[in-house]
Amino acid sequence: MSGLAGRRALRGFCSDRMGATAVEFAFLAFPFFGVLLVVFQAGLSVLTQQSLDAATDRANRVLFTGAFQAGANGVAAKDRLKAVMCAGSSFVDCNELKVEVTASTTFDTRVVNQPYDAAGRRWNPDFGNVFQCPGGDQVVTIQAALPVPMFTSLLSAHARAMPGGKQLLTSTAVFRSEPYSQGRC
């Protein structure tokens, strides 16, 4: 009799659907919310990268035309350029932004400072210290770097991981400035 009662109990348990939704949700909740977090992280990274590129483009325009040099007002050139870059940008944290500007007469193959130290997984200590005031008809390189929060490590296979759960986004512009007269920064 115990075998028959056991089979009935097993059939009753298998056909009982009370709580099935809760069990199915428990199985699917973690992957579902994980995918949502990855989509959120990817969207935030794309928006921040676009904002950083737009900020670099604003710096590009004022240095390209000589308007930046003409507007020298005694404030440090790097601080003025960061203010130009951050104007109207809600995704760029100016306190964290580092910028380098170099100028030369040709598109040469010289090496510029990289913002990321891959061995130490941190800022390159030499990055952000160079600001060469460009003149007319010079080749100008603007490098901007910004650490942003990284909420999940699923997207970090190629990310430049930084301390504090952040990743480093970069933007670079290289151009020849208009042939304006030499100004001061």
**Per-domain boundaries in the chain:** 2-176
Report how far residue 155's alpha carbon sits from residue 13's, in angstroms, rounded to the nearest whole number. 42
Report the distance separating Cα 150 and Cα 183, nearest Å: 41
Q: Are 132 and 177 in contact (CB under 8 A)?
A: no
Tell which residue, 148, 142, 173, has the closest CA to residue 43.
Answer: 148
∠ Cα 99 102 107 (to 5°): 130
Helices 20-65 and 77-86 cross at an angle (nearest 10°) of: 130
Q: Tell me which of 43-52, 92-101, 175-184 is least confident.
A: 175-184
Mean pLDDT of 61-84: 91
- Using H for helix, E for strand and C for coil, what is the string for 117-135? ECCCCEECCCCCCCECCCC
Rounded (5°) CA angle 101-132-108: 75
Query: Over the stretch 78-135, which tens digit does the pLDDT of each residue have?
Result: 999 999 999 988 888 899 999 999 998 888 766 788 999 988 889 999 999 999 999 8
Q: Across all residues in the chain, what is the average pLDDT?
A: 86
Q: What is the pLDDT of residue 147?
A: 93
Tokens of 63: 């240095």
Residue in 158, 136, 162, 134 with CA at minimum distance from that of residue 148: 162
- CA distance between the termini of the chain: 97
Give the chain's radius of gyration (CA, Å): 27
